[in-house]
Amino acid sequence: MTNIILCGGSGTRLWPISRNLMPKQFVKLFDNQSLFQLTLNRNSKFAQNSFIVSNESQYFLALDQIEESRSFSLENSKFLLEPVGRNTAPAIALACMVCDRDEIVLVTPSDHIIKNENEYQKVIKRAIELANDDYLVTFGITPTFAQTGFGYIEANGEDVKSFKEKPSLELAQEYLKAGNYYWNSGMFCFKAGLFLDELEKYSPQIYKSSKEAIEGKNSNMIRINQDDMLKIPEDSIDYAVMESSDRVKVIESDIDWSDLGSFDALYEELPKDNNGNTINENHISIDSKNNFIYGNDKKIVTIDVEDLIVVDTGDALLISKKGSSQKVKEAVKIVKQNSQLHNIHLTAHRPWGTYTVLEDRENYKIKRIVVKVGKRLSLQKHYHRNEHWIVVSGTATVTVGDEIKLVRPNESTYIKMGEIHRLENCGKIDVVLIEAQVGEYTGEDDIVRVEDDFKRVN
């Protein structure tokens, strides 16, 4: 069996923890593991292979976290990189088109948490049985309250009667009383060929354009051309196939599941102290109760407050009442208008390592750069800034114009505006350096790549 892991989405309801370039599925929130890693580990008990569908900017995050994972290796992993998202139906179709027709695929989001793994094993076993009998299987989560933020599945045993949109509170309460309605989990299990047959029958344009986009591509890392991707109609698997097919079954799944779609949901899953505050070594609590506290760099002191969400990420501070965290999406819309705070953290992850912005002011920026062993940045130049590099640890191999030299700890080098240059780590330990940029513009888009190991474009 192959686990198709859907990694799209930016998790804006968990901003500022979650950003476009570090979405919630890759943030290490649970014992220094991410939701993506938990998904890999959980499904490795059933799936021999993983097929990760993500956008291009998240590829290296996934790659690094697979390498860290205890239960999976890169040898068992494939990647499908989308230049632009077209919803779940095309993502799943493209992955299925490079699987054998009889391969059973387990489709899972990468940002959910499942705590009852014994029950999960039982429902997966039943899903495989139904998939082998040529059914498209979906997993219905046993509802615990009248949730208005999820779609619902109306069932008669394992037969699906209908799919329901996100309901009003009154309707959700009726669903809960009826006892045969489940939350739509967004997880599926079926033979790859059967899904494609049903897709061709009910959404022929998605099938046709997906087939054209994937034609001739079958490797461990598949990139879809942007023009080809944009030709594929955008639609969810529910609308494109599941709501129309007569081959659909649903399995009741009482698996202690959460999609962690808000800080209120995340609060419920994290360990807490005796006063109901989430445990954080930087938090000093004085007569404060039932608060969600997140912050890694500063002391956070709360006095006589209850039921708050406090999130500090260095470059953004969020304070909200519990119960109101769904409104975070409204704040993100405003943030997008005049900053990049929705897009990137102070620490940005790159395929070669990381950089952390220490200070960013008009006409200058200071960064801490870490280059991993054996990695190098692109051969590049800048039109609007000069750069000074001071090595703190490790030995940097620096190319400036036609000259290549070694720069050791407490040594520095200077790169003049417009000069072609590269930073490389040929040593045995990480290279750490401080970079001072000086110029009229220090934005990240002032990079002209001449050559790049990771096939990135400007």
* pLDDT per position as a tens digit, 104-120: 999 999 999 999 999 99
Whether 96 and 160 share a structural domain:
yes
Give the pLDDT score at 71. 62
Question: Has residue 86 got a pLDDT over 90?
Answer: yes
- CATH number assigned to the domain comprising residue 161: 3.90.550.10
Asked whether residue 339 is assigned to any structural domain, the reply reads no
Specify the pLDDT at position 72: 63
pLDDT band at 238 (very low <50, low <70, confident <90, very high): very high
Question: Per the domain annotation, does 70 fall within a domain?
Answer: yes
At 235 the pLDDT is: 95
pLDDT band at residue 458 under the 50/70/90 scheme: low
**pLDDT, average across residues 21-43:** 92
157 in any annotated domain: yes
Last residue of a domain, one of 216, 237, 255: 255
Using the 3D structure, point to which of 274, 303, 334 is the last residue of a domain.
334
Q: Is 90 exceeded by the pLDDT of residue 155?
A: yes
Do both 176 and 48 map to the same domain? Answer: yes
**What CATH code is carried by the domain that includes residue 413?**
2.60.120.10
Say if residue 11's pLDDT is above 90. no
* Residue 267 maps to a domain: yes
299 and 390 assigned to the same domain: no
Do 47 and 152 sit in the same domain of this protein?
yes
Are residues 182 and 61 both part of a single domain?
A: yes
- Are residues 223 and 271 both part of a single domain? no
Last residue of one domain, picked from the residues 311, 334, 357:
334
Range of the domain at 157: 2-255
CA angle 63, 65, 66 (to 5 degrees): 65
| Residue 98 sits in the same domain as residue 225 | yes
The yes-or-no verdict on residue 14 having pLDDT over 70 is: yes
pLDDT, residue 57, reads: 78
- Do 241 and 267 lie in one domain? The reply is no
Residue 413 lies in a domain: yes
pLDDT for 245-254, tens place per residue? Answer: 999 999 999 9
Average pLDDT over residues 369-376: 96
pLDDT at 74 over 90: no
Is 296 contained in some domain? yes
Question: What pLDDT is attached to residue 403?
Answer: 95
More confident residue, 134 or 219: 134
pLDDT in the model for residue 55: 87
Let me know whether 227 and 282 are in one domain.
no
pLDDT of residue 69: 73
Kindly state whether residues 305 and 351 are assigned to the same domain: no
One domain for residues 374 and 244: no
Task: Count the domains in the chain.
Answer: 3
Q: What is the pLDDT of residue 307?
A: 98
The reply to whether 421 falls in a domain is yes
Residues 97 and 238 in one domain: yes
Confidence label for 98 from pLDDT (cuts 50, 70 and 90): very high
Residue pLDDT, tens place only, 64-73: 888 887 666 6
Give the per-residue pLDDT at 445.
Answer: 86
Structural domain contains residue 6: yes
392-401 pLDDT, tens per residue? 999 999 999 9
